[in-house]
C-alpha cells in the first residue's frame, strides 16, 4: 500500500506558520533597484539639468516611473524632501501646473517596496519662448 506524504507536509508548514516561524514556501526576493522617474511637459521629457521650452504657460507636468512610487517635487529650485508636494505613481500622474517662465522643477521618487529605494534628484528649467 502506497502512503501519501503531502498532507503531512501541508500540516507541518501550517504548524510552522502558526507558530511564528520564518518558514516560507519560496524565499522572498528583495527589491534593491531605485525607480527611474521622468517628468514630461508639453511632450518634452525633462532630463537632469536640462532646459525645456514650452509654447504656452500654464503647462502641466506629467510624471512617470519604472515602478510604483511616490514622487516628490518642488518648483522653486530647492531640493525636494519627503515633506515636499508629492504624487503617487501610477495612481496619479499629473503633477504641478507651471505658470512662470524660468521655473526650476526638481523631483525624485521612492518606490513602494519594503526597502524604500530612492532615486536621485533630477531637475530641469522650464522656459517659454
Averaged pLDDT for residues 43-56? 88
Strand partners, 105: 124
Q: Report how far residue 107's alpha carbon sits from residue 90's, in angstroms, rounded to the nearest whole number.
A: 16
C-alpha cell at 94: 499629473
- Residue boundaries of the structural domains of the chain: 28-127
This prediction has a pTM of 0.76
User: pLDDT tens digits for 83-106?
Assistant: 999 999 998 889 999 999 999 999
The class level of CATH for 28-127 reads mainly beta
C-alpha cell at 23: 518558514
Q: How confident is the model at residue 31 (pLDDT cuts 50, 70, 90)?
A: confident
CA angle 50, 40, 125 (to 5 degrees): 30
* Residue with more model confidence, 122 or 14: 122
**Per-residue pLDDT at 48:** 82
* Residue with more model confidence, 30 or 19: 30
Asked if 117 and 111 touch (Cβ cutoff 8 Å), the reply is yes
Q: How does the average pLDDT of the chain come out, rounded?
A: 85
Amino acid at each position: 500500500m502506497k502512503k501519501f506524504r503531502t498532507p503531512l507536509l501541508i500540516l507541518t508548514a501550517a504548524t510552522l506558520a502558526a507558530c511564528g516561524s520564518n518558514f516560507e514556501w519560496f524565499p522572498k526576493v528583495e527589491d534593491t533597484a531605485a525607480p527611474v522617474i521622468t517628468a514630461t511637459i508639453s511632450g518634452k521629457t525633462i532630463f537632469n539639468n536640462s532646459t525645456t521650452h514650452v509654447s504656452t504657460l500654464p503647462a502641466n507636468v506629467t510624471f512617470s516611473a519604472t515602478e510604483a512610487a511616490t514622487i516628490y517635487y518642488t518648483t522653486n529650485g530647492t531640493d525636494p524632501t519627503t515633506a515636499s508636494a508629492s504624487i503617487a505613481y501610477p495612481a496619479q500622474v499629473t503633477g504641478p501646473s507651471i505658470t512662470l517662465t524660468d521655473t526650476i522643477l526638481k523631483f525624485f521618487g521612492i518606490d513602494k517596496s519594503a526597502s524604500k529605494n530612492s532615486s536621485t534628484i533630477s531637475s530641469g528649467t522650464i522656459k517659454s519662448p
